[in-house]
Amino acid sequence: MKIAVGMIALATVAVAGSAYAQRPPQGSYLNQCRNISVQGQFLHAQCRDARGRWANSSLNLASCRSDIGVGPDGGLACFGPGAGVGPGRPPGGGYPPPGVRPPGQDRYGVTIYDRFGFRGQAMQIRGATPNLDGTRFNDRVASIQLPRRSGPWLVCENANYRGRCVTVRDDVRDVSRIGMLNRISSLRPL
């Protein structure tokens, strides 16, 4: 009886421990990245760009149903069928070869930074992100960079696009100018 109770207790501890430790998903990015971690629905890593420099990157795993790879800028990206969401994606998803940028490829991409002027830690967001909690960017966004030809984005102070929201149509070097410094918890393309 004592052995059975001990085995049940051991199994309970093992299951509870595994709920907190999230394993990174498989993907070709594993060969080009280091310091890989998963926090909630976000994959974080430092990956090599086309010039061999390390770049901090994050990817919303909920928006990726295919192989995860690394683009020429060192950013994590979805490759193959099911890559990304929404129109404007190149056929097959992911990044084209370096220097080739088809129109609309970055339609659903935005980069947020924890310092003014597009400096500091950066995270690329490719699609609707209803909650930044669990990332190092919840209530810490200081600047927002939209790619050329990107449509407007909605940034909100609470999760699930609630509370005060502001439409961003261009780069914002200092989010305090739009009254959102240390307040952004969710964002999505419009």
Return the CATH fold of 24-189. Gamma-B Crystallin; domain 1 (2.60.20)
Amino acid, single-letter form, for residue 133: D
pLDDT average, residue stretch 35-46: 87
Highest-confidence range of 10-14, 41-45, 91-95, 108-112, by mean pLDDT? 41-45
Q: How far is the C-alpha of 126 from the C-alpha of 84, rounded, in Å? A: 7
pLDDT per position as a tens digit, 73-93: 778 877 654 444 333 333 333
Question: Residue 4: pLDDT above 80?
Answer: no
Percent of the chain with pLDDT over 70: 72
* pLDDT at residue 2, rounded to an integer: 54
Number of H helices and number of E strands within the chain?
A: 1, 11
Q: How far is the C-alpha of 14 from the C-alpha of 56, rounded, in Å? A: 32
The pLDDT mean for the chain works out to 75
Taken in order 74, 76, 80, 81, is the CA torsion positive or negative? negative
* pLDDT at residue 81, rounded to an integer: 46
Q: Return the SS3 of 20.
A: helix
Q: List Cβ neighbours of 156 (8 Å cut-off, separation of 6 or more).
A: 162, 163, 164, 165, 166, 184, 185, 186, 187
* pLDDT at residue 105, rounded to an integer: 40
Read off the tokens for 152. Answer: 């407007």
The DSSP letter of residue 169 is -
pLDDT per position as a tens digit, 93-147: 343 333 333 333 445 578 899 999 988 888 888 888 899 988 889 999 999 998 8
* pLDDT at residue 143, rounded to an integer: 95
Question: Residue 9: pLDDT above 60?
Answer: no
Q: How far is the C-alpha of 55 from the C-alpha of 96, rounded, in Å? A: 18
pTM of the model: 0.49
Q: How far is the C-alpha of 68 from the C-alpha of 170, rounded, in Å? A: 28
Read off the tokens for 102. Answer: 């088809």
* pLDDT at residue 54, rounded to an integer: 85
